[in-house]
């Protein structure tokens, strides 16, 4: 692993120090992303945890703020959101997160799903574009979410959605389709050409480097990360090694590394530190070496990409340092 490097997609929601000591050992810094997830603390509560960690481990954490969707159908909601975003930025946030509950949960008063291109959000997006504020977005889910279990491409998705049928969109045709989620996101990028946008999780197009490439080519202000989607690159590398490697090299200035580890106490203090270490080393082997590897998410072997040193430097450090303002 290079030193220093940045894990540019985590959720540090506890004040445990073991993960921070592991970061010191590896020369790592974190981008912790505030998110309006029901089982997370409030956005402000998440920021308080990061403030405590930063006081003990200065210059190791940057964060992205978010906003509450409560009252989204009420007059004045957008103005309240802009005020909340300003408070987060005043505390040092590097940008703003918009989550998948917009598109997959929230509905208007007539029962229609509110998508990211809905007019309720337009004043917020206009504000971010005009002020040059970075927006990072998680729209939709992996395409597997809309497929039957037997057609899913990785075992991790198959296991999760078989255990949580309430989130398996194949069973819920009343929800917006996968394509509807992607189209709504693309319409936002069309309407807001100056918006600085990071489409997280390989744009939720993890199944196809070709689809990701089309968007990166079309939208010059668009970037992405590989958080929680490395296994989908590994799967594609089984049969398209040269193409996956060429994808990473072509878009070396547009892709950032991240793990999406959720530090909510469920791993235990040492467990979360061990989880970071295991992922960092496994992912480094995939991107930096040409070792023959196996992944727990699917059967069969694949070869590491053996990316050039300058590409690794950008993937693991330079891009995130530039985009999120690390020193």
pLDDT digits (tens, 9 = 90+) for 99-151: 999 999 999 999 999 999 999 999 999 999 999 999 999 999 999 999 999 99
Q: Which residue has the tokens 């053996």?
A: 306
- From residue 265, give the alpha-carbon distance in Å to each of 14, 173, 268, 269, 273: 7, 34, 5, 7, 11
Name the pLDDT band for 327 (thresholds 50, 70, 90).
Answer: confident
pLDDT at 290: 98
Name the pLDDT band for 52 (thresholds 50, 70, 90).
Answer: very high
DSSP H stretches of helix in the chain: 18-26, 43-56, 77-90, 101-104, 122-131, 155-163, 178-191, 200-203, 209-218, 230-250, 269-288, 309-313, 319-324
In degrees to the nearest 10, what's the CA dihedral of 313, 317, 323, 327? -120
pLDDT at 309: 98
**Boundaries of every domain in the chain:** 5-324
What average pLDDT does the structure give for the chain? 97
CA 127/CA 193 separation, integer angstroms:
13
Question: Once rounded to an integer, what is the mean pLDDT over residues 212-232?
Answer: 98
Contact 95, 135 (CB under 8 A): yes
Residue 97 has pLDDT above 90, yes or no: yes
Name the pLDDT band for 241 (thresholds 50, 70, 90).
Answer: very high
Name the pLDDT band for 197 (thresholds 50, 70, 90).
Answer: very high
Question: Once rounded to an integer, what is the mean pLDDT over residues 320-326?
Answer: 98
Those residues whose C-beta lies under 8 Å from the C-beta of residue 75, and which sit 6 or more positions away, are: none
Which of 3.20.20.140, 3.30.750.200, 3.20.20.70, 3.40.50.300 is the CATH number of 5-324?
3.20.20.140
In degrees to the nearest 10, what's the CA dihedral of 62, 260, 165, 271? -110
Residue 10 phi, psi (nearest 5): -140, 170
Residue 88 has pLDDT above 90, yes or no: yes
In degrees to the nearest 10, what's the CA dihedral of 156, 62, 205, 262? 20
């Amino acid at each position: 692993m290079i030193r220093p490097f940045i894990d540019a997609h985590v959720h540090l929601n506890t004040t445990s120090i073991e993960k921070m000591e592991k970061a010191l050992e590896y020369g790592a810094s974190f981008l912790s992303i505030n998110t309006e997830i029901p089982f997370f603390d409030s956005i402000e509560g998440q920021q308080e945890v990061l403030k405590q960690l930063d006081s003990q481990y200065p210059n190791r954490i940057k964060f992205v703020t978010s906003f509450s969707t409560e009252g989204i159908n009420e007059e004045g909601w957008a103005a309240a959101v802009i005020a909340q975003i300003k408070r987060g930025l005043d505390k040092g946030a590097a940008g703003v997160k918009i989550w998948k509950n917009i598109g997959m949960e929230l509905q208007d008063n007539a029962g229609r799903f509110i998508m990211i291109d809905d007019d309720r959000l337009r004043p917020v997006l206009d504000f971010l574009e005009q002020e040059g504020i970075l927006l990072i977005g998680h729209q939709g889910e992996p395409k597997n979410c809309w497929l039957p279990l037997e057609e899913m491409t990785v075992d991790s998705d198959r296991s999760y959605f078989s255990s949580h049928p309430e989130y398996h969109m194949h069973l819920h045709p009343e929800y917006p389709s996968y394509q509807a989620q992607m189209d709504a996101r693309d319409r936002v990028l069309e309407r807001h050409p100056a918006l600085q946008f990071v489409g997280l999780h390989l744009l939720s197009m993890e199944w196809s480097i070709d689809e990701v490439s089309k968007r990166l080519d079309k939208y010059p202000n668009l970037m992405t990360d590989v958080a929680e989607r490395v296994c989908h690159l590994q799967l594609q590398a089984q049969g398209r090694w040269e193409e996956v490697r060429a994808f990473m090299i072509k878009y070396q200035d547009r892709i950032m590394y991240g793990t999406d580890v959720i530090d909510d106490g469920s791993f235990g203090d040492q467990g979360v530190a061990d989880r970071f270490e295991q992922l960092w080393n496994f992912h480094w082997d995939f991107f930096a070496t040409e070792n023959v590897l196996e992944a727990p998410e699917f059967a069969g072997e694949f070869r590491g990409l053996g990316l050039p040193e300058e590409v690794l430097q950008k993937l693991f450090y330079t891009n995130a340092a530039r985009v999120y303002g690390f020193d």
